Structure 1
Amino acid sequence: MLFKMINKFLNIVLVICIGNWTFFNTVSKNEIIHSIKVFHKGISLTESVDCNLIEVQNEYQQPIEYYMDVESVVCGDNHCKVDFVRIFWDIFGQYKRFELPDKVKLEKAEGKDFTAEDYEKLNSILHDENSSLKDVYKHEIVSTVGTEGIDALSGSTILLEKSAYVKGAVWTCYSLWHWVHGDIKQIIRNITGKSQSIKSLQSYLSSNKKVKKLFGLEQLNHRKDYSEKSVQLVVSAIEQSSTLLKPSLLYLENAPNKVYINTIQKLLKQFESENRLFCLQHLLKTKQKLPLEFYYKLSDLYKDFTYQEIHVLLKILNTKYDISPQMINHLLPLLNHNDFLIARRLYWFLQKQDLLQEQESRIQTFYLEWKDKL
């Protein structure tokens, strides 16, 4: 019954987002209204909410920040005081700050105003995109009368660390955090991306800031731009920071097949073991179609592969291809590898393949030499 009351209340106070942008003042000439639909975890997992997102532009009609006015929730019962909060994001959808109307103060349990420390903590919470608030559902936050006040967590089930909320204002923290870090972030990124030229998006890849590189990658992928220049910039970005490898592979996954093959081959030849392994694991899962000849051309690298890399390579060959005699010839030198585990792994792999007579002879020789360790 308590959960039903909480759910009903939250749906009432949070469901209306559209129109809130007029609460503070009218929209300026340099502001653009975007009518959007977003999901809020505290409202519904299946029904979206209509909202107005405001884009603030500079004199060149380029976005410089975004804001949206939303309702705050102070507690989990029908005695709550609801205030409007204006949330600001940068052009990449990263939280910047929040503002309140003049003479409005947020309240917590028992009608107490937020202190300066509370506001500072709330701001810090909203900056934390990995807050434990992320994984909590509204029905898991139980309103009780206890040491935390009526807007508190159940004493029997502690789901959040105290650092994740302001004492006596867990609903406010929960509600605002999910406005800040919900669908709105990607919506903002896409609006910003649409305002940029391909040249501008490419320039982000040359930035020394990871957030800009990631944005450039994402939006070039969104625009389906796999031009030679863009791909070269992506490769250069990976060379400068291997942390960009994963998002770069997501970008390349959607590239034309020839572009994908040539770029992956280039990356594998210049990478050290850890990044090579990541690429091989990607090749195991990719939906791109690679000819078996792709792996012929990599054979000069096999002698430098670690056991883990060889294991993934053989798994790729076993699950995606009919192994040709030529491919087996490229693998056979590994029977003489200094790492016996690699040689043994290949031996058992070859045992299951259709081999030519001379290939059979090679593995028989290996067996006679190492049969006590197989």
Structure 2
Amino acid sequence: MINWIKGLLVGALLLPFSFENGEDIRYFQQSTIPLTDSTDVIVSSIYDSLSNQDIYQVKTSTGTPVHYYIELQEGVCFENECRPLNILIYWNITGRYLGFELVDGEFLSKFDHEPFSPKEYEELDQLLADPFLPLGNYTFEDLVKRPDTVSQSLDGVSGATMKDVLEYIVPGAAYTTHKLWNVIHGPIQQEVIRMTERNLDSSLLNKILQSRDQSDQTWALERIAQLSDLDDSVVESLVRILLEGEHFQAYLLLKSLSIKQLESEHLQLHLFSLIGKVDFSIENMIFDKLVEAPQLHGSVVDASIPILTALSGSQLGKLLKLYSHHEVKNPEFNQALKQMVPIENSFIERQVLKFLDKQAETSD
């Protein structure tokens, strides 16, 4: 079983992939954790009582989850005609759809018993990969209007399919498209996510942050707070995302950091090092996040002294607000501030003088 799994997925999960021969039909999206020829894998079965279904977890010999799959077996029926549907459905470790496989001569067919063409398999693969389709809002009966007389039968396009969802189904295969999409994006998906969350540590989180799939990165960013501490590799990945990622990802990252994690001197220093390197809105969020820290490490204040004269008026104002909040008292910083006066921006100069006056009062 293990060798069969490896033979199937080695290389296939590195990029979107499809393969058909006389017996097997396989379509896969990109996997977060790729398999290699040297990867030892373990397959274990977990019974999910909610879906009344065995979920198979594939993980490396070191315990890193790779993906999950189920063996879906049921009849595809409409108008009292049925044919068995035996298909393997795969999920990535983040819960997104990974692919499907039909083995031992299995195939998908449409209402007229005609097998899917390669183009239709590709279309199905693309539809199943889209979590935002409205197919979860309709029952199969909603999709199909039954005709007065039985004419065509299998797979549920014997009647007129709702015009609103025609673009979301493979023509002639309404039932199959609807059924598979709802299995993939239903309760089993949530159980898959829970299983990965139970295995989540800094190493796995960092692997997911390295994914080329943006939804994987978003998944990881939403769960940063589940880790009590962030190791150096994770912090470096977070810095990369703040520098290179989209604004939403930066917002989500900073929003997700916990108070406990903000105690880290290493994290504080890396966040502060981004001042002047990221855009204005992200910079503001970094200042706001450092305000939330239980305490500000002295090394952050030390790091700010050499760059004081390079800060803009807005940056300097936010820095003083941050230090006032944490009641920072650093003679070297105060001396560097004094040397900046007079300041061309009178508003900022007043803020600097106010900060220095308060420092003098508290030191008396």
> For residues 51 and 114 of structure 1, do their structure 2 counterparts lie closer, same or farther at Cα, with a shift above 3 Å needed?
same
Alignment pair present for 1:165 and 2:187 = no
Matched, 1:187 2:204: no
What residue in structure 2 maps to residue 100 of structure 1?
102
Deviation of the 1:248 alpha carbon: 0.8
Q: Distance in 2 between matches of 1:250 and 1:35?
A: 35
Give the SS at the match of 1:81. Answer: strand
Matches within 5 A, 1:32-181: 32-37=44-49, 48-71=50-73, 74=76, 77-138=79-140, 140-145=142-147, 150=153, 151-152=156-157, 155=160, 157-162=162-167, 164-181=168-185
Partner of 1:248: 253
Provide the secondary structure at the position in 1 that maps to 2:121. helix
Deviation at 1:170, TM superposition (A): 0.7
> Structure 2 counterpart of 1:88, which letter?
Y
Secondary structure, aligned partner of 1:55:
strand
CA distance, structure 1, for counterparts of residue 257 and residue 283 of structure 2: 16
Once the two structures are TM-superposed, the CA of residue 187 in structure 1 deviates from its matched residue by 3.4
Q: Contact 1:55/1:67 (CA < 8 Å) preserved in 2?
A: yes
Contact 2:224 2:257 in 1 (8 A): no
Structure 1 residue 141 displacement after superposition: 1.7
Q: CA deviation at 1:233?
A: 3.8
Which letter does structure 2 place at the counterpart of 1:160? V
What is the TM-score of this pair, normalised by structure 1? 0.52
Partners of 1:224 and 1:199 in 2: CA distance: 13
Structure-to-structure mapping, 1:259-338, within 5 angstroms: 270-273=277-280, 275=282, 279=285, 303=314
Q: Would you say the 8 A contact 1:73–1:171 is kept in 2? A: no
Structure 2: 5+ residue stretches without partners: 1-40, 295-300, 302-310, 319-343, 348-364
Secondary structure, counterpart of 1:35 in structure 2: strand
TM-score scaled by length of structure 2: 0.54
Counterparts in 2 of 1:250 and 1:152: CA distance versus 1, 3 Å = farther
Q: Which amino acid aligns with 1:69?
A: E
Q: Deviations over 1:82-135 (max 9, x none)?
A: 422211233343433322352433332244443444333322322333334354
Q: Give the secondary structure class of the aligned counterpart of 2:165.
A: coil
Change (3 A) 1:139 1:248: farther
Structure 1 segments unaligned to the other structure (5+ residues)? 1-28, 38-47, 292-296, 305-312, 314-332, 337-374
Shift of 1:227: 5.8
* 182 and 30 in structure 1: CA distance in 2 versus 1, 3 angstrom threshold: same
Is the 8 Å Cα contact of residues 111 and 158 (structure 2) preserved in structure 1? no
Cα distance, 1:176 vs structure 2: 0.3
CA distance in 2, matches of 1:97, 1:189: 16
Which stretch has the larger CA shift, 95-104 or 248-257? 248-257
Q: How many residues align?
A: 264
Q: Return closer, same or farther for 1:335/1:81 CA change in 2, 3 Å cut-off.
A: farther
C-alpha spacing 1:238/1:258, structure 2 compared with 1 (3 Å): same
- Where in structure 1 do 4 or more consecutive aligned residues deviate above 6 Å? 263-269, 288-291, 333-336
